[in-house]
Amino acid sequence: MDCLENLIFDKRFNLLSKGVLQPENIHISIIGGGLAGLVSAYLLAKAGKQVLLIEKKKYPFHRVCGEYISNEAKGFLKDEGLLPTGMDLPHISEFQFSDTVGRQTTIPLDLGGFGVSRFVLDEHIYGRAKEVGARILEGLQVENVRFDKETDSFELELSDHRVIRSEHVIGAFGKRSKLDKVLEREFIQRRSPYLGVKYHIKTDLPRDFVALHNFTGGYCGINAIENDRFNLCYLGSRDQLREAGSIPEMERMFLWKNPKLQRIFNESEFLFEKPEVINEINFDPKQPVENHILMAGDAAGLITPLCGNGMAIAIQSGKLAAEALLRGGDRFTIESNYAQSWTELFKWRLWVGRNVQRLFGSRGVSSFTRTLIAKVPLVANQIIRNTHGQPF
Ligand SMILES: Cc1cc2nc3c(=O)[nH]c(=O)nc-3n(C[C@H](O)[C@H](O)[C@H](O)COP(=O)(O)OP(=O)(O)OC[C@H]3O[C@@H](n4cnc5c(N)ncnc54)[C@H](O)[C@@H]3O)c2cc1C
């Protein structure tokens, strides 16, 4: 935030403190309506709490994500009616891995998962959250959030200049938001080399597997989603994009070196006019509570996509944040309860995910990894077990 913005906010804040302006009072505000935010809004509203969720985009919308959900989350989603019904969602039980030159191995998955697009899933949970009484403001961004010690509450400033005063805040604003800068979070000071690209395609592949195809500098996931479609999503590098000059050229120069990927790109129908793209994807550790905000989902830490369970973690951490607020107590107790359960459930898994990512994206290492998976499938299962939790 620059000085001028700071000044405007301070002025507004002073007017609010003097009672000249009237803020809207809310019990719990949730910033960001991805899976973490929507799930916490749903659970808190269902329990009778007054909840306001603010999402900068308008539903439904696409976002960069592999759209393979680990079965860890399936029971919870089903029990709460948060799983879209009436759709044939593919059950995924096999894992296929190819090294940068396209040599592949397939192993069964212990727990497995299913595929569903975020376009469909997020909109469904958004509908359920509204049904149980959550208030949702769409198309508005939270520009600033500040904890005021004197009133023991937060002030949120929205992009339409509305000010919300809130007793509690859940930060579910994803892997990277302007609020990370406002809050001066440590990870945002460092640049990240990763970018993410996503397409929906129609292709002729089995619907019960999730594939990870390596290429120099990254890896590309493919799995079935609803309506006979597939998701194709890769983690690539900013330097390669700069070198190639455009996304199609980067794909030809780097991804297509893996013959598996070349064939899929050439033989599939691409359904988006242009891909969804995000950059500066950062896997550095973050804190589950900062500035008294309970951080949930990627805002608390992003697991590397190869693990295929960032969504399950987002859903479960949204649930934990809601549970910590429902359990109640003073602010210190709520924050400690949340930080403790978050750390117990996720910290180790995120660390393993960061380190396993080193086994991807280069010829020698990806080839070694493929051989290891083929010869000792137990190793792959051990990695999966260490990055996944129990069904919740
Ligand atoms: C390339 C890639 C592939 C992946 N593939 C998979 C996969 O196959 N399976 C899997 O389980 N996980 C996968 N993940 C991880 C998964 O996408 C994330 O972990 C998950 O989306 C996190 O959900 P979230 O609710 O925390 O954040 P998000 O879904 O990112 O939601 C955050 C929301 O906050 C909003 N927002 C941000 N700032 C503000 C603001 N100031 N005011 C208002 N709103 C704001 C944003 O618009 C956004 O809607 C992948 C990630 C990447 C990068």
In this structure, is residue 250 part of a structural domain? yes
Pair 181, 198 in one domain: no
Model confidence, pTM: 0.93
Q: Find out whether the beta carbon of 307 lies less than 6 Å from any atom of ligand 1.
A: no
The Cα 389–Cα 392 span in angstroms is 8
Name the token pair of 257. 């070196």
Pair 113, 142 in one domain: no
Pair 111, 203 in one domain: yes
Q: Of the candidates 289, 303, 297, which has an alpha carbon nearest to the alpha carbon of residue 339?
A: 289
Q: Find out whether the beta carbon of 298 lies less than 6 Å from any atom of ligand 1.
A: yes
Residue recorded with tokens 């597939």: 230
Please name every residue paired with 289 in a beta bridge, in sequence order, or none if there are none: 294
Show the domain range for 78: 68-117+191-282
Interval between CA 68 and ligand 1 midpoint (Å): 13
Name the token pair of 265. 């790109």
Interval between CA 125 and ligand 1 midpoint (Å): 14
What is the domain count for the chain?
2
Q: Of the candidates 357, 291, 350, 290, which has an alpha carbon nearest to the alpha carbon of residue 316?
A: 350
In this structure, is residue 278 part of a structural domain? yes
Pair 209, 337 in one domain: no
Pair 259, 287 in one domain: no
**Contact between 340 and 320 (Cβ < 8 Å):** no
The enclosing domain of 98 has a CATH number of 3.30.9.100
The enclosing domain of 310 has a CATH number of 3.50.50.60
- Residue owning the nearest CA to atom 29 of ligand 1: 34
Pair 196, 171 in one domain: no
Pair 319, 213 in one domain: no
Q: Find out whether the beta carbon of 222 lies less than 6 Å from any atom of ligand 1.
A: no
Interval between CA 7 and ligand 1 midpoint (Å): 31
- Cβ-in-10-Å burial (0-12, 13-18, 19+) of 386 comes to middle
Q: Find out whether the beta carbon of 55 lies less than 6 Å from any atom of ligand 1.
A: yes
In this structure, is residue 221 part of a structural domain? yes
**Residues in Cβ contact with 143 at an 8 Å cutoff, skipping those fewer than 6 apart:** 5, 157, 158, 159, 178, 182
Quick one: pLDDT at residue 100? 93
In this structure, is residue 26 part of a structural domain? yes
The Cα 18–Cα 283 span in angstroms is 42
Q: What is the pLDDT of residues 156-179, one digit of tens each?
A: 999 999 999 999 999 999 999 999
Q: What is the pLDDT of residues 186-233, one digit of tens each?
A: 999 999 999 999 999 999 999 999 999 999 999 999 999 999 999 999
Q: Of the candidates 318, 348, 356, which has an alpha carbon nearest to the alpha carbon of residue 126?
A: 318
Q: Which of 311, 315, 384 to mutate to test the pocket of ligand 1 (most atoms within 8 A of CB)?
A: 311
Interval between CA 277 and ligand 1 midpoint (Å): 12
HSE toward the beta carbon, residue 376, CA cutoff 13 A: 6
pLDDT lower than 50: segments of the chain: 1-10, 17-20
